[in-house]
Amino acid sequence: MPTARLLLSCPDRTGLVASVADFVWRVGGNITHADQHTDEQAGVFFQRVEFLVSDLTVGRGQLAQRFAPVAAEFGMEWRLSFSDETRRVAILVSRQGHCLYDLLARWRAGELPCDIAAVISNWPDHSAAAEHFEVPFHELPVTPETRDAQESRLADLLGRYRVDLVVLARYMQILGRRIIDPYRYRVINIHHSFLPAFAGGRPYAQAHARGVKLIGATAHYATEDLDEGPIIAQEVARVTHRDSVDDLARTGRDLETTVLARAVRAHLTDRILVYGRKTVVFD
């Protein structure tokens, strides 16, 4: 059954929860999930409220208008979405296809509530996979010289497909602000280390050289500061002195697919609020 999802943050104050709950009750919503968090140091309140819209006493289109006075009273930043409004996703990938395959398989299995609008790559390798899953594939090759032009073509493609979310599924190119800015907190990247350890290139080689006993993967929103964006999900796996760099990479691929899928799913179900460099992920 379709639901509305209200995500909000504002300065903490008495009466907040009551006011939001009262709003939902007055419009005929039935709350199926509510979660909140108060950052007591910063004095900021965060909430996610999900409610059934089947018995609304007002039209869907009026919900936002009805909520506006509540939001204004408390100085909220907020957004409202509906579980049956399907988000459009573009997956960007380079040569390593494990995250792409995993996302496509989960999508087909019904785990990811979205439309996968396109697969875009700077290499031709995964066109057959895209075709197998009946998703349009675009190759946008790039060299150091053509970087700017390629990004321009990429921006065009994302616009043409009306993309809501960009997933960097081991896309080994740095995105500039032409992409990052319009899609702020709508670009999810997977980094193959337990950030902030081993930021930058070749994290498995770095981890091997340092002799760590666990390796990790981190899904985060891409920002203009590489590997510094707000972290959404992380996972680790145990390794030993027996593991070569290749073994770390193999073990790591399992982490990468799992962590990226978890982050994409959290985004698509409107569970993530960003504040500062951090995220609140309601579960």
Q: Determine the Cα–Cα distance for residues 106 and 263; give it in Å rounded to an integer.
A: 13
In the bound state with a second copy, the residue whose beta carbon lies nearer, of 29 and 93, is 29
CB of 121 to a second copy, least distance (A): 16
What is the smallest separation between the CB atom of 30 and a second copy, expressed in angstroms? 4
What tokens appear for 54 in the block?
Answer: 């089947």
Residue closer to a second copy, measured from CB, 153 or 228: 228
Nearer to a second copy, 33 or 202 (CB): 33
- Closest approach of Cβ 231 to a second copy, in Å? 5
Q: Does the active-site annotation cover 227?
A: yes
- Which residue's CB is nearer to a second copy, number 151 or number 279? 279
Considering the complex, what minimum distance in angstroms separates the CB of residue 188 from a second copy?
Answer: 14
Three-class secondary structure of residue 273 per DSSP: strand
Contacts of 156 (CB under 8 A, 6+ apart): none
Question: Which residues does 269 contact at the CB level (< 8 Å), separation at least 6?
Answer: 5, 83, 113
Catalytic: which of 12, 22, 84, 227? 227
Cβ–Cβ under 8 Å, residues 46 and 275: yes
Contacts of 128 (CB under 8 A, 6+ apart): none
Beta carbons within 8 Å of 233's beta carbon, 6+ residues apart: 218, 219, 259, 262, 263, 266, 281
Q: How far is CA 109 from CA 105, 114, 207, in A?
A: 6, 12, 34
Residues with active-site annotation: 227
